[in-house]
Structure formats: structure tokens, C-alpha cells
Chains A and B, each alone.
Chain A
Amino acid sequence: MDWAELLEIAETEKHRQRGIRVHCCTSTGCRAANSLDVMRNMQNAVEDANLGDRVEVVGVGCMGFCGRGPLVQVDPEELLYEEVTPETASSIIDALHGGEATPIQGDVHHPFFSRQMKIVRQHSGKLDPERIEDYIAAGGYQGLYKALYDLTPADVVDEITRSGLRGRGGGGYPTGLKWATVGKMPGDQKYVICNGDEGDPGAFMDRSVLESDPHLILEGMAIAGYAIGANHGYIYVRAEYPLAIQRLQKAIQQAKKYGLLGSQIFDSAFDFKIDIRIGAGAFVCGEETALIHSIEGARGNPRPRPPYPAESGLWHCPTLINNVETLANISAIIKGGADWYAGIGTETSKGTKIFALTGKIRNNGLIEVPMGITLREIVEEMGGGVPDGMVKAVQTGGPSGGCIPATLLDTPVDYDSLMKVGSMMGSGGMVVMDHETSMVEVARFYMEFCRGETCGKCVPCRTGTVQLYSLLNKLVNRQATQADLDTMEALCYMVKETSLCGLGMTAPNPVLSTLRYFKEEYDALLQTPAYLNGHSVQSDAIASSVSP
């Protein structure tokens, strides 16, 4: 494979494609709503109407407006249909030759779409994730070619550093710095790991990227491998994402067939192979050291850092671990240049971020927005606000994050601003809560999650979360006293400061942030201790009480 061949594949594919492409989402969300039948009925309708030479029905990845699925979009006209059923599906094809489409027609100019900026999701919903040719036709693997032939590994690292890209898994560590560290480590054997163990409740950004555009990840990983001197990569995906796994497997096979993975990629001296490892369902395996243990075949327990994986990771070799979304940015940065990327976003947070917008909100789904957009713009303009009532709070960062009250909706979405208000960017969950939501119950929900997901290795996380959950339960059941609330707060800080890994260190955040902004809801649940009912306690001035 060389440059000319790559372009030829792209040309052949473009030539093969029909003028009208009816894109039908076949990602997990729409699939659950019967989109495969929708697609089949549309394909039959095309055949029945003999439109095969100018119309093709293409199963594509996620279009984002998941709350209104199954989604179908007719391109290039950009006619979006929502909640298409197998019964109404064929009418979309009828509309292409004089009939009338019966499904609800969506507004692609609605802020939900128009305020988005798609870099990671640029191909999502536009191309068939199971055909590498479709990806190549959209400019795929050109970033890898450019990296291999126009840039040295150090140039690639420099490009990523200058782009200002930060880790999208939640921590926000500068990606370029991480790459540079691994790159500079001595040793012949290094690894690239793609962390696809997305586990925050309500978050499905990474799943969507993997299902919709698997080659984007493969390309990002290969570029990373070239930059840091690794020739082996692992994608760690949770077993709950079978479609993502299946598409990745297919994508790896296709890329190998074309010489885009394996030995001598693009006829260069660079070899890179990718294997998939499937997680067994533990949330904690999203923590990098636990994930590494899991790939090694051991129990998925985190270990103290340092040493960081960059120094001693998979099988004690220098290892680069990046999140799915982080790696999905790489090809675009190499193709578009660091300066272009650094021009998007804020001073300290560059580029875009995908959020899974859910909760009490009109427009549910996945959105990719430029850093620096305010929560208000996301929730009120794009999300359309709360159906009946008022926004009370927005939860970001999942079980590691916090609840931001409505009064702070003008907070810009960037790593530092979210941290400052007591939450975090996290991996991209964004849950909108209305006035009927009890914030104490929200805190309890997240603590219940952490209690169930702690690996059990370190004491504060294993048993501190159990005690925090039980105290929150006591509060919700109106059995807690002021003393319980004080104990709970003290325990939150203890678990945060003494836990071994990020899971424990952040587990108290939902409690602490709701205590910070919604203290009155906690206070309202407090009870007078039972022994005080109707009686008064004698003075507790102890020393004076016992002096003779």
C-alpha cells in the first residue's frame, strides 16, 4: 500500500457510492429500537422501486439524537427522520420518487445540531463502520501516512503537544506530555493501550465512537505507536459493548488486509499490530493500572503510582494509555495541524468534547461541542431545557464528578472551570436534573454505584464507600441526625484523601458537591435524636459536673 493506492481506493469507493445515500443508524441505541428492520425495509423498498442505481441504504454509526431513534438521514439533502418504525420506513424511499415520507421530520438546523462542532464524530452517522473503503474515501488513514512520511516520531509528539489536546477520559492530563514521556523512556518494547472501558452510568460516548468509526481509533493508535516507538497496541473494551468489539475486529482484519496494520505499514519500516482485550465488567478496570493488570490476565486491581505506566506499564514496559476519545482526535490533529486544533476551545482546554446529554431534558443524545461553550448553551439551547419545569442542577463527571447548580449554568465547559465549581469534565456524562430531583438521593445513587464497583483492595474505598452509602441511606430514610451528617462529611474527606486510586479519591465528589450547593436538602432530612424526644438532657459541661 502506498499513497497512490490509498487514493485509488478512495476514488473507487466514491465512484461506487450512489448519489443518494440513505443513512440508517445501526448503533446500539437505534438497534434496540428496531433500526435493523427499518434498514431492511428501506433496502427492500429501494429494490422494489428499482432505485438501486441512484439510491443506496447504508447502515451507519451514531447520529447523536439518540433519544429520538431510530434515525434515518437522506444525504446529501440532509433530510432527517426521527422515530422511524419498520412500518414507516419504506415511505422514506417512496418520498424519493414522488411519495410522501410519514415519519417525523427532524430539524437539522436546530441548535442541537448546529451548535455542535464535529471532529471526533466527523464521520459518525455518515459512513459504514464495517467498510474500510468508506473510511478511506472520507480521507481515512491519510493522517497515518502523513505521520509516517512527512514527520519524525518527535515531530508527531510535538504536534500533539502543541495542539493542546488533554486526556478525554476525565483526568485531563496533557496528551503530548504523556506521549513525550513514553517516547523518551528507554527500552525496545513499548505498548499503546486504548482505554475503552467506559463505565460511568449514563455515558456512552466511547461506545458510539467505537461503533461508528472504528478505523479512526486504529489510525490514532498506529500514529501513537509510531510517535512513541511501540509496535503493539491493545484495545481494552468492556464485554457489554459486543457491537463495538465486533466492529473493531472487522476493522482490524480489513486494515491488516490493506497493509494499514501489521508489518511495514505503507511500505515503511514501521510495524504495528493491534489486539483486542475484553473487560469482564469491572468499572475499576477503567483505572489504568487495573486495566493493565487485567490485560496481563491478573485480577483488575489498581496499584500505587509511581511508577506510572509511562515508565513501567504492561509487562513492566513503558506504556501509553489513552482514552478512546483522545485517540480519536489524533488523525484530525495530524491532518489539520496543531495550530488549527489549538485554535478551538479555551486557553487551557483545546478542541471539542463529546457529552452524553441525558436526564430531565427535551433533547437526549450525544453532542460534540467546542470547549468553552457554557452549560447553559448546552442545556437550554441544544438540549431544549427541562420538559416541564426548571433545571435544578447538571451532573458531570459521573460517579467521580459533581452536581453543578442552575445558578452556575454560565460556567464554561473546560477542565479547569468545571474543577473550580467542584465537579469535573469526566469522560462525558451530563445528566440534567429538574426541581423534583432530590440531590441527596442523587448522591446516594452514585455512592451505591461506587460501593458496588470498588475493587476492595484499599480500606478507605472498600469500606468507606459502604459506610458513606449507609449514612446517605439513613439520611434519605429520615433517620439521620446532625452527628451522622458530620461523620459523613468527615468520612468523605478521608476517603478522598487516603484512597489508593482515582475511584476512591473521587467517589465522595457527588456527596461533597451536593453538600456544597444543596446543604439545605440534607438539613431538611435531619431528625432529632430519639432519646431527646420530649425530654431535655442535663448540662454536658463535664468537668464542672463531676467536681465535688
Chain B
Amino acid sequence: MDKIKFATVWLAGCSGCHMSFLDLDEWLIDLAAAVDVVFSPVGCDLKTYPEGVDVCLVEGAIANQENLELIYDVRRKTKLLISFGDCAVTANVPAMRNMLGSSSAVLKRAYLELGDVTPQLPDEPGIVPELLDRVVPVHEVVPVDIFMPGCPPSADRIRATLEPLLKGEMPVMEGRSMIKFG
């Protein structure tokens, strides 16, 4: 029988969740034996999200047009989508810019008001993805199957989430060890 097709994506986040994923250490070897890693910023170098993915860990919030297009693609091609870490679940730190209002207010603050040498707005259509007005958690734009909070989720929590899935079971996301934010 085919192995589970496993993917991870990195949207608006600090990659800390992926770092924590690497903290799985030797269990990564067990995981590698059980799954085919078909897409991941830390596992392979594909540019296009493939069809027929079984499980995908999504790190990060939805902050720009590229995040949005990718998450639509991920949702369409993935059976089980996991919001991986606080940015995916709550929009977390990336969303702190929402308090400023729209994206233009953020850009103005970052590139004009705080720009020290040559203040100018980044504008490269087709190359630099446009910011969305509001950073939102993943489940605000696509349905999410499992929520794994944490900033980052500890390796233990990641393992406790993935291990049952390998056996065809749903993990129980309950209790401090599994769902505490932060």
C-alpha cells in the first residue's frame, strides 16, 4: 500500500514551528519511514504543491496574496489539513499589524516613517506579493481539520498529533500538553 503523502507549508510565520518539527530528532527517522514527504520547506525543494496530499502541516497565518493562493491550493489538494502553531491557529504575532488598520498603514509605517536611508514603498507587481489588509488565521479562509496551537508547538505535541494519524486514528487534542497557546 502507498505511504501517506505528507506535506508541510510555511506561510506568515517565523519558521519556529518548523524548527520545532526538526526537534522531533530521531523520531523523524520513524516518520520518514512511514510517509512520503511530497512538499516541505525543510524536506524537499518543490515549487508547486502536488495533488493528492494526505496530511499537511500548515505553519503561519494568511498575510499576503501568495499565502492566500497557496492555502487555497493546499486545501483543494489535501485530505487532512492541520493548523500548525499559533500563527496558523490565531494569526498570532504576524496579526499584531492588524491593530494599525489596513496594509497601506503598515507599509507606510515600515518603509516610509521608519525608512532611514531611502524611504520608499516596495512595489514590484508579480514579484513581491501584495499584503492583505488583515492577517487572518488559516481557518478563516479554508476549513481546517485539526488545530495544533503552540508558539511553537513542542516536538512532543507534534509527535502526539502525528503519531495517531499514522495509525489511521484522530489525535485527541485536549489538555495542557496538547492545546495550550503560547
Chain A interface (Cβ < 8 Å from any Cβ of B): 483, 529-532, 535-540, 542-548
Within the complex, what minimum Cβ distance (angstroms) separates B70 from chain A?
Answer: 11
Q: Is the CB of A548 within 8 A of B3?
A: yes
Q: Is the CB of B142 within 8 A of A546?
A: no
Q: Is the CB of B75 within 8 A of A546?
A: no
Report chain A residues within 8 Å CB of B165.
546
Q: Is the CB of A548 within 8 A of B76?
A: no
Within the complex, what minimum Cβ distance (angstroms) separates A266 from chain B?
Answer: 65
Given A542-B145, A546-B80: A531 and B4 within 8 A (CB)?
no
Q: Is the CB of A531 within 8 A of B76?
A: yes
Closest CB pairs A-B (n = 4)? A547-B168, A545-B79, A531-B72, A535-B76
What are 28 A-B residue pairs whose CB atoms fall within 8 Å in the complex?
A: A529-B142, A530-B72, A531-B72, A531-B141, A536-B76, A537-B75, A537-B76, A538-B52, A538-B76, A538-B77, A538-B79, A539-B79, A540-B145, A542-B79, A542-B145, A542-B170, A543-B170, A545-B79, A546-B54, A546-B55, A546-B79, A546-B80, A546-B166, A547-B167, A548-B1, A548-B2, A548-B4, A548-B34
User: Taking each of A483, A531, A537, which has the highest tally of chain B beta carbons within 10 Å of its own beta carbon?
Assistant: A531
When C-beta atoms are compared, the residue in chain B nearest to A547 turns out to be B168
Report chain B residues within 8 Å CB of A548.
1-4, 34, 166, 168
Within the complex, what minimum Cβ distance (angstroms) separates A546 from chain B?
Answer: 5
A532 vs B78: C-alpha distance in the bound complex, in angstroms? 13
B158, CB-defined interface residue at 8 Å: no
B169, CB-defined interface residue at 8 Å: yes
A536 vs B4: C-alpha distance in the bound complex, in angstroms? 21
User: Taking each of A546, A547, A548, which has the highest tally of chain B beta carbons within 10 Å of its own beta carbon?
Assistant: A546
Within the complex, what minimum Cβ distance (angstroms) separates B77 from chain A?
Answer: 7
The proximity string for B residues 127-163 relative to A, scoring 1 for CB distances below 8 Å and 0 otherwise, is: 0000000000000011101000000000000000000
Contact of A540 among B76, B79, B166, B168 (CB under 8 A): B79
When C-beta atoms are compared, the residue in chain A nearest to B164 turns out to be A546
Report chain A residues within 8 Å CB of B167.
547
When C-beta atoms are compared, the residue in chain A nearest to B69 turns out to be A531
A538 vs B76: C-alpha distance in the bound complex, in angstroms? 7
- How many chain B residues touch the partner (CB < 8 A)? 26
Q: Is the CB of A543 within 8 A of B76?
A: no
Within the complex, what minimum Cβ distance (angstroms) separates A369 from chain B?
Answer: 49
Q: Is the CB of A543 within 8 A of B169?
A: yes
Within the complex, what minimum Cβ distance (angstroms) separates A122 from chain B?
Answer: 57
Q: Is the CB of B141 within 8 A of A530?
A: yes
Chain B interface (Cβ < 8 Å from any Cβ of A): 1-4, 34, 52, 54-55, 71-72, 75-80, 141-143, 145, 165-170
Given contacts A529-B143, A531-B76, A544-B168, 15 further A-B contacts (CB under 8 A): A531-B141, A537-B76, A538-B52, A538-B77, A538-B79, A540-B143, A542-B145, A542-B170, A543-B168, A546-B54, A546-B80, A546-B166, A548-B1, A548-B2, A548-B168
Q: Is the CB of B54 within 8 A of A545?
A: yes
Within the complex, what minimum Cβ distance (angstroms) separates B46 from chain A?
Answer: 19
A529 vs B141: C-alpha distance in the bound complex, in angstroms? 8
A152 vs B77: C-alpha distance in the bound complex, in angstroms? 82
A396 vs B145: C-alpha distance in the bound complex, in angstroms? 42
Within the complex, what minimum Cβ distance (angstroms) separates B51 from chain A?
Answer: 9
Report chain A residues within 8 Å CB of B78.
538
A547 vs B1: C-alpha distance in the bound complex, in angstroms? 10
User: Taking each of B1, B3, B143, B167, which has the highest tally of chain A beta carbons within 10 Å of its own beta carbon?
Assistant: B143
When C-beta atoms are compared, the residue in chain B nearest to A534 turns out to be B76
Report chain A residues within 8 Å CB of B3.
548
A537 vs B143: C-alpha distance in the bound complex, in angstroms? 11
Within the complex, what minimum Cβ distance (angstroms) separates A23 from chain B?
Answer: 57
Report chain A residues within 8 Å CB of B80.
542, 545-546
Report chain A residues within 8 Å CB of B1.
548
When C-beta atoms are compared, the residue in chain B nearest to A536 turns out to be B76
When C-beta atoms are compared, the residue in chain A nearest to B34 turns out to be A548
User: Taking each of B34, B80, B170, which has the highest tally of chain A beta carbons within 10 Å of its own beta carbon?
Assistant: B80
User: Taking each of B54, B77, B170, which has the highest tally of chain A beta carbons within 10 Å of its own beta carbon?
Assistant: B54
A546 vs B166: C-alpha distance in the bound complex, in angstroms? 7
Report chain B residues within 8 Å CB of A540.
79, 143, 145
Report chain B residues within 8 Å CB of A543.
168-170
Report chain A residues within 8 Å CB of B54.
545-546
Report chain A residues within 8 Å CB of B145.
540, 542
Report chain B residues within 8 Å CB of A532.
76
User: Taking each of A483, A532, A539, which has the highest tally of chain B beta carbons within 10 Å of its own beta carbon?
Assistant: A532
Within the complex, what minimum Cβ distance (angstroms) separates B176 from chain A?
Answer: 23
When C-beta atoms are compared, the residue in chain B nearest to A483 turns out to be B143
User: Taking each of A530, A538, A540, which has the highest tally of chain B beta carbons within 10 Å of its own beta carbon?
Assistant: A538
Report chain B residues within 8 Å CB of A547.
167-168
Report chain B residues within 8 Å CB of A538.
52, 76-79
Within the complex, what minimum Cβ distance (angstroms) separates B94 from chain A?
Answer: 20
Q: Is the CB of B52 within 8 A of A531?
A: no
A447 vs B112: C-alpha distance in the bound complex, in angstroms? 40
Within the complex, what minimum Cβ distance (angstroms) separates A39 from chain B?
Answer: 53
A129 vs B142: C-alpha distance in the bound complex, in angstroms? 64
A531 vs B74: C-alpha distance in the bound complex, in angstroms? 10
Report chain B residues within 8 Å CB of A542.
79-80, 145, 170
Report chain B residues within 8 Å CB of A539.
79
A40 vs B72: C-alpha distance in the bound complex, in angstroms? 72
Contact of A546 among B52, B72, B141, B168 (CB under 8 A): B168
A483 vs B2: C-alpha distance in the bound complex, in angstroms? 34
Within the complex, what minimum Cβ distance (angstroms) separates A382 from chain B?
Answer: 49
Within the complex, what minimum Cβ distance (angstroms) separates B6 from chain A?
Answer: 10
When C-beta atoms are compared, the residue in chain A nearest to B146 turns out to be A542
Report chain B residues within 8 Å CB of A546.
4, 54-55, 79-80, 165-166, 168
A352 vs B117: C-alpha distance in the bound complex, in angstroms? 77
A542 vs B54: C-alpha distance in the bound complex, in angstroms? 9
A547 vs B3: C-alpha distance in the bound complex, in angstroms? 9
Report chain B residues within 8 Å CB of A544.
168
